[in-house]
Amino acid sequence: MDIVFKDVEHRYHTNTPFERRALYNMNLSIASGSYVAIIGHTGSGKSTLLQHLNGLLQPTNGTVHIGDQIITNAKKPKHLKPLRKKVGIVFQFPEHQLFEETVEKDICFGPVNFGIPEEQAKKMARELLPLVGLPEEVLTKSPFELSGGQMRRVAIAGVLAMEPEVIVLDEPTAGLDPQGRKEIMEMFYRLHQEKKLTTILVTHSMEDAAKYADEIVVMHRGTVVKTGTPKEIFREPNTLLEIGLDVPETILFQKKLEEKFGVTIDSPCLTMEEIVEEAKKLFAKVRKNDE
């Protein structure tokens, strides 16, 4: 399911003194089966953007194509349910949406709403638990007995149980410990690869964006300022630093290395291994020159 934004603009509270433009000039296309990371400062319009992905918000101007569904500012589109089944959104702090008496019921809530038979949903819940890293005995527990990290995993399982074709992740690891963070990110990446799940990740972690995404979209003050592969985006770290964003540690190290030795390394190093390799080569060259 391809997603295309065409000249999208979104304003909150139109025709009131509180009117605010949150998005403008948004042109963006996300190919089916790709992994796209959206990075940007707080207030750059990321959350507004992702609420357009399943019709929670309608654009004030322009059109959003999601598969064969077109969303414009015309009156409230009907039949959004099939679309919402196809596009699963894991909101920030998704554990706040839990409400059922048992974990099993909560995971089944989404799929049952979309008309999947209860038995099948239960089976799916059982299968999803090991995937999100939870033991099977939590199924009969109340979600509110679990720890914060476990609740997060239940909520994620609840979205995955809808079997979406596109999954939108809004900072899925905020507030988790480093280990849990890594596990969750790896899990989504596996899903993306195995099931060809189109994945859209909103994140503040440049390391995650660089590591997992095929394409990065940089947002600033309500519009896209840059799109490209991680290598393209981080080749010019200064643009990112100027708009107040971080770049991966490896890129910063590379930049310092280049300045110190007055050289340029051709390709931006996004992983520790790459930068170590480049540094080794550089030091070898320097030593040779010294002799």
Binding site for other proteins (CB under 8 A): 16, 51, 54, 56, 81, 84-85, 87-89, 91, 94, 96-99, 109-110, 113-114, 144, 158-159, 162
Between residues 168 and 184, which has the closer beta carbon with respect to other proteins?
A: 168
- CA atoms in the 13 A half-sphere facing the CB of 178: 1
Minimum CB separation of residue 145 from other proteins in Å reads 12
Minimum CB separation of residue 188 from other proteins in Å reads 17
Dig out the tokens for 99 from the structure. Answer: 């409400």
SS3 state at 276? helix
- CA atoms in the 13 A half-sphere facing the CB of 130: 3
Listed in sequence order, the residues at least 6 apart from 273 whose beta carbon sits closer than 8 Å to its beta carbon are: none
Between residues 164 and 237, which has the closer beta carbon with respect to other proteins?
A: 164
> In 218-245, which positions are buried (b, 16+ CB within 10 angstroms) versus exposed (e)?
bbbebbbebbeebeebbeebebbeeeeb
Minimum CB separation of residue 159 from other proteins in Å reads 7
Between residues 4 and 112, which has the closer beta carbon with respect to other proteins?
A: 112
Q: Determine whether 30 is exposed, middle or buried from the number of CB atoms within 10 Å of its CB (0-12, 13-18, 19+).
A: buried
Place of tokens 């300022």: 225
Minimum CB separation of residue 239 from other proteins in Å reads 32
Minimum CB separation of residue 85 from other proteins in Å reads 7
Between residues 88 and 149, which has the closer beta carbon with respect to other proteins?
A: 88
Between residues 24 and 114, which has the closer beta carbon with respect to other proteins?
A: 114
